[in-house]
Amino acid sequence: EIVLTQSPGTLSLSPGERATLSCRASQSVSSSYLAWYQQKPGQAPRLLIYGASSRATGIPDRFSGSGSGTDFSLTISRLEPEDFAVYYCQQYDSSPRTFGQGTKVEIK
Amino acid sequence: EVLLVQSGAEVKKPGESLKISCKGSGYNFATYWIGWVRQMPGKGLEWMGIIYPGDSDTRYSPSFQGQVTISADKSISTAYLQWSSLRASDTAMYYCATLINFRAALNYWGQGTLVTVSS
């Protein structure tokens, strides 16, 4: 089973700042089968990024994903008030699919 | 528009059985995989398993194999998650979501079904 470790656990930033979230895999994720999701309180998760770097439909271009192999990142170029949420990475390369434990982006 | 509508919240006692549902619309239900994800109170997301409604091919995470049953009825565009004997530790929010193929991200999500198991 591929274990995904996200860091930091919590990121305290102000609106307008840049956020960089990390996701490290215990073994290589081939063909960049890595996704990022956003979850706000009381809501279902929403797909942001798939294939490590492709934005899902309707996702603003301030969200970008990068990485390959075992190291991936999600960058939010300028935080908007609605971006404060929990973010999860997920690999869908091998079974069982696994999620990281999440990074909370909170208002400083 | 792709929509997944899940059944309502449930309150059950330990040992009881339960079947929750996830109804798809706006797409060919039989041709997209459906995944189930658990979120325990205050915790992260856990992958439970997936099913292909076209032929009911089902894959479970080892953590959930034997603990739940995933099924689907393509004639009514509905997927199910069921328990034969609930435990307090099954208390969680359960989400269904679509995958466009076997190796894909979860692109459309249901609103979630809260299951509470308490004596």
DSSP 8-state code for residue A57: T
Mean pLDDT of chain B: 97
- The pLDDT tens digits of the residues spanning B75-109 come to 999 999 999 999 999 999 999 999 988 899 999 99
Residues of A in contact with B110 (CB under 8 A): 44
Q: In what order do the strands lie in the sheet with B18-25?
A: B3-6, B18-25, B78-83, B69-73
Residue recorded with tokens 């998760």: A45
- The pLDDT tens digits of the residues spanning A3-25 come to 999 999 999 999 999 999 999 99
Q: Is A5 helix (H, G, I), strand (E, B) or coil?
A: strand
Quickly state the pLDDT bin for A91 (edges 50, 70, 90).
Answer: very high
| pLDDT of amino acid A31 | 73
Q: Are A22 and A36 in contact (CB under 8 A)?
A: no
| pLDDT of amino acid B52 | 97
Q: Which residue has the higher pLDDT, A32 or B32?
A: B32
- The pLDDT tens digits of the residues spanning B45-63 come to 999 999 999 999 999 999 9
Q: Are B114 and B44 in contact (CB under 8 A)?
A: no
Closest CA to B83 of B105, B64, B100, B67: B67
| pLDDT of amino acid A32 | 82
Q: Is A62 helix (H, G, I), strand (E, B) or coil?
A: coil
User: Rounded distance, CA A57 to CA B18, Å?
Assistant: 35
Q: Is B49 helix (H, G, I), strand (E, B) or coil?
A: strand
Does B35 reach chain A within 8 Å, measured CB to CB?
yes
Cβ B105–A88 below 8 Å, yes or no? no
| pLDDT of amino acid B2 | 95
> Mean pLDDT, to the nearest integer, of A25-51?
95
For chain A, list the strands marked E by DSSP: 4-7, 10-13, 19-29, 34-39, 46-50, 54-55, 63-76, 86-91, 98-99, 103-107
DSSP 8-state code for residue B9: P
Closest CA to A45 of B20, B93, B75: B93
Size of interface A-B (CB pairs under 8 A): 60
Does B59 reach chain A within 8 Å, measured CB to CB?
yes
CB contact residues (below 8 A), chain A span 31-50, against chain B:
33, 35, 37, 39, 44-47, 50
User: Rounded distance, CA B106 to CA B82, Å?
Assistant: 21
Residues of B in contact with A98 (CB under 8 A): 47
pLDDT > 70: what percent of chain B?
100
Residue A41 confidence (pLDDT) above 80: yes
| pLDDT of amino acid B29 | 96
